[in-house]
């Protein structure tokens, strides 16, 4: 069983990577790392938000399920139902200087299955009020004929009584 721990930097081109294995293939961990980088990069307001969200759409298997908990009744969404409100929010002008980024994450790969668990932070200004937050995201990825795709994702945010560990 392979495990990779990584820290994300700026998003790169998902199809271009100079790091290849001895067999001439980009490693599974690097491919999955690029997916995770692009996932977080998609949640950035400002220019090119629409193109980042289209990249986000391409990261998911068409039948993927995305779950939000955050202390509320869980909501389960398909890919289009997940992306549509975020596209409106990121392009409406009411949310500015917004971005999400990974704090720490871990990927475990077994055959054609991979699991990501990672903490993240977010910050921005909504309707003139600055805010910030942190939380945890999980993703299940599967290897398809078209490469690795997210088959499920879920997240929860910190709130009173629910905090990320200090380490």
Secondary structure of residue 54 in the 3-state scheme: helix
Cα–Cα distance measured from residue 135 to residue 157, given in angstroms and rounded to the nearest whole number? 4
Q: What's the confidence (pLDDT) of residue 46?
A: 87
Residue 11 has pLDDT above 60, yes or no: no
Domain-embedded: residue 35:
yes
Domain-embedded: residue 114:
yes
Domain-embedded: residue 100:
yes
pLDDT digits (tens, 9 = 90+) for 74-133: 999 999 999 999 999 998 888 999 999 999 999 999 999 999 999 999 999 999 999 999
Residue 3 has pLDDT above 70, yes or no: no
Cα–Cα distance measured from residue 145 to residue 65, given in angstroms and rounded to the nearest whole number? 19
Domain-embedded: residue 166:
no
- Per DSSP, helices labelled H in 42-153 are 49-59, 79-91
- Check which CATH number belongs to the domain holding 132 and give it: 3.10.450.50
Using pLDDT thresholds of 50, 70 and 90, give the confidence band for residue 25.
low
C-alpha dihedral over 144, 83, 109, 29, to 10 degrees?
90
Residue 141 has pLDDT above 80, yes or no: yes
| Segment 47-62 mean pLDDT | 94
| Segment 18-24 mean pLDDT | 43
Q: What's the confidence (pLDDT) of residue 13?
A: 37
Domain-embedded: residue 164:
no
Domain-embedded: residue 13:
no
Global pTM exceeds 0.85: no
Using pLDDT thresholds of 50, 70 and 90, give the confidence band for residue 61.
very high
Assigned token pair, 22: 């001895």
Per the structure, the count of domains in the chain is 1
Q: What's the confidence (pLDDT) of residue 92?
A: 85
Q: What's the confidence (pLDDT) of residue 47?
A: 86
Domain-embedded: residue 87:
yes
Domain-embedded: residue 78:
yes
Range of the domain at 103: 2-7+24-157
Residue 4 has pLDDT above 50, yes or no: no
Q: What's the confidence (pLDDT) of residue 128?
A: 94
pLDDT digits (tens, 9 = 90+) for 27-51: 999 999 999 999 999 999 988 999 9
């Amino acid at each position: 069983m392979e495990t990779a721990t990584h820290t994300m930097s700026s998003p790169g081109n998902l199809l271009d990577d100079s790091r290849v294995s001895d067999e001439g293939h980009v490693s599974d961990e690097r491919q999955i790392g690029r997916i995770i980088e692009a996932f977080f990069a998609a949640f950035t307001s400002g220019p090119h938000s629409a193109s980042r969200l289209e990249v986000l759409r391409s990261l998911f298997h068409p039948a993927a399920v995305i779950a939000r908990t955050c202390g509320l009744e869980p909501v389960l969404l398909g890919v289009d139902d997940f992306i549509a409100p975020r596209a409106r929010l990121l392009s409406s002008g009411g949310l500015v200087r917004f971005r999400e980024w990974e704090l720490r994450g871990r990927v475990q790969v077994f055959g054609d299955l991979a699991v990501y668990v990672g903490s993240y932070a977010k910050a921005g200004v909504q309707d003139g009020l600055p805010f910030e937050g942190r939380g945890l995201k999980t993703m299940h990825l599967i290897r398809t004929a078209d490469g690795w795709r997210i088959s499920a994702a879920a997240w929860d945010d910190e709130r009173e009584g629910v905090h990320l560990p200090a380490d």
